[in-house]
């Protein structure tokens, strides 16, 4: 669906865009990466930034196995550093129903962040259940389950360099 060269080009653009938006903040940006799917995207995005940034991770999952949400959300790991007064970019692989990122954003705001924005590699609006404002979007994709570049099916295929639709 999306080859690695196209992904790389888009991620560099997002990195430049984010660097411009946060050019004037007086503390390092905090990238909060939603495990596990967003790690590959986050690693490339981080290296596309021209501003200082810290890394934090949260573990959230509404897809324990398979290709459809069971509607429940697990938050197994929260950020370690204090976020009070910090500017945060949540980094997610794909926004589907929006439930995951909404829940994480709510928790991060409660920790006193000065601002919380969202960077998503993929946006699949067809199955949205809750409204989500994506500040930095890589690609809008049609209603297909995708794998590769960090995205999995039952834990597999994250290592693929390109993004494929699973058939």
Q: Which residues are catalytic?
A: 96
- 150 counts as binding ligand IMP under rule CB under 6 A: no
Taking the least distance from each CB to ligand IMP, the nearer of 22 and 122 is: 122
DSSP state letters, 50-108: SS-EEEEEEEEES-SSSSS--S--EEEE--SS--TT-EEEEEEEEESSSHHHHHHHHHH
Q: Which helix (H) or strand (E) holds 158?
A: none
Write down the least CB distance from residue 63 to Mg ion, Å. Answer: 6
Q: Does 118 bind ligand IMP (CB under 6 A)?
A: no
Q: Which of residues 59-78 bind ligand IMP (CB under 6 A)?
A: 62-63, 69
Closest CA to 154 of 47, 46, 24, 64: 64
Find all residues with CB under 8 Å of 73, minimum gap 6, and list them: 60, 61, 62, 99, 100, 103
Residues 22-51 that bind ligand IMP (CB under 6 A): 34, 37
- Rule CB under 6 A: choose which of 42, 58, 99, 121 binds ligand IMP: 99
Beta carbon nearer to ligand IMP, 37 or 138: 37
d(CA 149, CA 94): 11
> What residues form DSSP beta bridges with 61?
74
Of residues 13 through 42, those in contact with Mg ion by CB under 5 A are: 37
Number of residues in contact with ligand IMP, rule: CB under 6 A?
A: 19
Note the residues at the interface with ligand IMP (CB under 6 A). 34, 37, 62-63, 69, 92-100, 145-147, 151-152
């Amino acid at each position: 669906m999306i080859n690695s060269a196209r992904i790389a080009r888009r991620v560099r653009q997002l990195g430049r865009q984010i660097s411009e938006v946060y050019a004037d903040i007086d503390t390092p940006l905090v990238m909060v990466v939603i495990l596990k799917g967003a790690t590959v995207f986050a690693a490339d995005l981080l290296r596309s930034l021209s501003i200082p940034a810290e890394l934090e991770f949260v573990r959230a999952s509404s897809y324990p196995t398979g290709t459809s949400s069971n509607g429940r959300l697990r938050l197994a790991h929260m950020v370690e550093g204090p976020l009070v007064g910090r500017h945060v970019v949540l980094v997610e692989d794909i926004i589907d129903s929006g439930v995951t990122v909404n829940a994480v954003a709510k928790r991060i705001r409660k920790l006193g962040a000065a601002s919380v924005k969202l960077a998503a590699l993929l946006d699949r609006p067809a199955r949205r259940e809750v409204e989500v404002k994506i500040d930095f979007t890589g690609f809008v994709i049609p209603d297909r389950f995708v794998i590769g570049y960090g995205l999995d099916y039952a834990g597999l295929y994250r290592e693929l360099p390109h993004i494929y639709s699973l058939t």
